Structure 1
């Protein structure tokens, strides 16, 4: 499908006849595991923010502390970098599963041991902003500098510059700034499809590798979301099985979103472990990084080619 012009909503996408993904090995589903590494980049008055972080921690619905610190919330984030990260690391190593990390630059700066472990494991480390904040109100020049600073930090600490980007709470300039930077293959700031697609950014075709918030452990910390590891495991398995069945004719992509401070808890890690067992038993999956998905798509379905 030709790229969609910049700033235009696309409610059609690939349509009724999506392209055949032609994943390696004839896989029916490309499975992308993503670990959001944010701990140490969240809102805090110590950083000059007006209030503490009020999003995605265990005290669901608790209002931020305005003008002061929330030591409880801070320690819940610290759990992710101190303990949760290493539990996820061990689980993925046991399965030999590849991973993409959405890494907040400041968070990596504050735990270089974790950054080195990501590089040593061969994980893809993508940019996730300099800080884990909402970029909708951030001035363009500040955001541009944050992109550059994040790139430099990942390259220095991990050993390789990022080729992917995901802000999450994007601003109106985010995609254009990522495209203008010139070193990225893709961004993932979109949830609109089961396959990669092209849009236009900075006046040229730009690849989007979409992400998912339903197949995401963040739902443990949302009202009416997951309660137990079994809830998440059942949902992930059901999603994979549906995509696996559809993939007999038209292969699909599945994203699994993880957070150190969420899935890294002892009572939740079984969801990740059990899902990887399920995928291995079913077969027909290409568990890979988002970089590899992007490189495959750029080669197999270049932007100049129509459906």
Structure 2
């Protein structure tokens, strides 16, 4: 929302809007994915999982993978470098405590700070960064003693478009955009090689019935194209690294 409560006042309207996602929306999306046999990448803050053990238990046995999304719902650019590092370290530790494993990818809320990528590289343990929105394919950036894989995010096929103008007026707009995007990429891929399409949805928005119907339409559209497949981001990262091993590594 563009409006917020004054400092020191709880914004109960926004709180309950988010709560719809954790109470209702996540389960509607979970059932939909299971019904179609689709494994997805789940982006979450560590604290959100700690406060919702039912979702944590589901994530542990669902076959979906985790994209680290911070310790809390914090704007990274408001933190000092040391504060951001502390948040990341605490988030990774909490993910390990809750899920038994750490995230190997990272995506900041909205956008990263100027320090985020350096901190990811310095801390280690990450195969990829998903903060940039600047390509249709993964790519590498230089890092200390090597390189870091970028798996671009997208705010094009994203349910945040329901809230911005011009955006999606109806759920069908989302489905139509995905279909046009996908079919164009398939034509390009036939001529130039593979492409990647990111579809991003949020439990508090797409978990609502009419928008969940749009997600189901999107899934059915992708599954109807024999040249397209759903892949988790961890799988994309490992596949890309196998195609382009670092110097001295076996392919």
TM-score by length of 1: 0.77
Residue in 1 that maps onto 2:199: 256
Question: RMSD in angstroms over aligned alpha carbons?
Answer: 1.5
**Structure with greater proportional helix content:** 2
Which deviates more, 155-164 or 254-263?
155-164
Q: Aligned to 2:197, what secondary structure does the other structure show?
A: strand
**Residues 101 and 268 (structure 1 numbering): CA distance in 2 closer, same or farther, change over 3 Å?**
same
C-alpha contact 2:223 2:229 (8 A) present in aligned 1: no
- Structure (1/2) with the larger strand percentage: 1
Tell me, yes or no, if the aligned pair for 2:222 and 2:229 is still in contact at 8 Å: no
Residues 151-179 of structure 1, C-alpha deviations (whole Å, 9 max, x = no match): 12222222321111111321111011111
1:267 aligns with 2:210: yes
SS in 2 for 1:115: helix
Matches within 5 A, 1:36-185: 60-168=1-109, 169-185=111-127
Q: How many residues align?
A: 246
C-alpha distance in structure 2 between counterparts of 1:296 and 1:221, whole Å:
34
Question: What secondary structure sits across from 1:267 in the alignment?
Answer: helix
Contact 1:196–1:210 at 8 Å: present in 2 too? yes
Higher relative contact order at CA 8 Å, sep ≥6: structure 1 or structure 2?
Answer: 1
Match of 1:244 in 2: 186
Return the alpha-carbon distance in structure 2 between the equivalents of residues 219 and 203 of structure 1: 39
The equivalent of 1:294 in structure 2 is 237
1:232 aligned to 157, 164, 174, which one? 174
Q: Does 1:198 align with 2:140?
A: yes
Unaligned runs of 5+ in 2: none
